[in-house]
Structure 1
Amino acid sequence: MRGMGNMNNMMKQMQKMQKDMAKAQEELKELSVEGTAGGGMVKVVVSGHKEVLDVIIAEDVVDPDDVDMLQDLVLAAINDAMKQADQLVNDKMGRFTQGMNLPGF
């Protein structure tokens, strides 16, 4: 009988963890980060679910004769935002996956 009590406690802990994880995932949906490049001339806003929400490009950086530079700045800003989004996810979800060695967490 003693083993059943431990099993029930484990099940309760697992259910609480699932509930906490779902709450953290919902919170991530509401959070966003901003990546920048070119000293803030290009900004990209990404959600905690890694969806690009906005791209802001300063008029000064738009040069029809140098499209390559603008493309590089946009890519750099996206990569910066994605790194920040990864960190946000790790901060929010890492406690649930600590010690499990799961890819992506």
Structure 2
Amino acid sequence: MSQFQQMQQGMTQVREDLKHKEVEASVGGGMVKVKMNGAHEVIAITIEKEVVNPDDVSMLQDLIKSAVNEASRKSQELLKEELSKITGGLPIPGFNV
């Protein structure tokens, strides 16, 4: 098996393994939390009842958006870390993470 094929196989395995690793982001002093796996799938969203105000829905929307974006950033970093173990930190053309 060529070195490229081994690396490709390793990247496939990393992506599969990342489905089982989780990151969490918390915003608003822990009022909104988002758990996401390394495949960028949202696993859970937790919203404390104190932040739910029917007169200020936009604040809740902003908190959720911020938490999802932060969890996505953490998930992306996790992917980069895992792939760099295989690639030795070298960028792979056409493979953006």
Common fold: TM-score over 0.5: yes
Consecutive unaligned residues of structure 1, counting only runs of 5 or more, are: 1-10
Using the size of structure 2 for normalisation, the TM-score is: 0.85
Q: Which residue in the other structure is 1:104 paired with?
A: 96
Determine whether 1:50 maps to 2:40.
yes
- Name 2:73's counterpart in structure 1: 83
Could you tell me the percent identity over the aligned residues? 39
Greater helix content = 1
Q: Given the two structures, how large is their TM-score scaled by the length of structure 1?
A: 0.79
* Aligned-residue offset at 1:20: 1.8
Q: Where does the alignment leave 5 or more consecutive residues of structure 2 unmatched?
A: none
The Cα of 1:24 is off from its aligned counterpart by 1.1
Query: Aligned partners of 2:80 and 2:91: how far apart in 1?
Result: 13
Q: Distance in 2 between matches of 1:103 and 1:26?
A: 16
CA-based RMSD of the aligned residues comes to 1.8
SS in 1 for 2:96: coil
How many residue pairs get matched?
A: 95
Matched residue, 1:4: none
Counterpart amino acid of residue 98 in structure 1: L
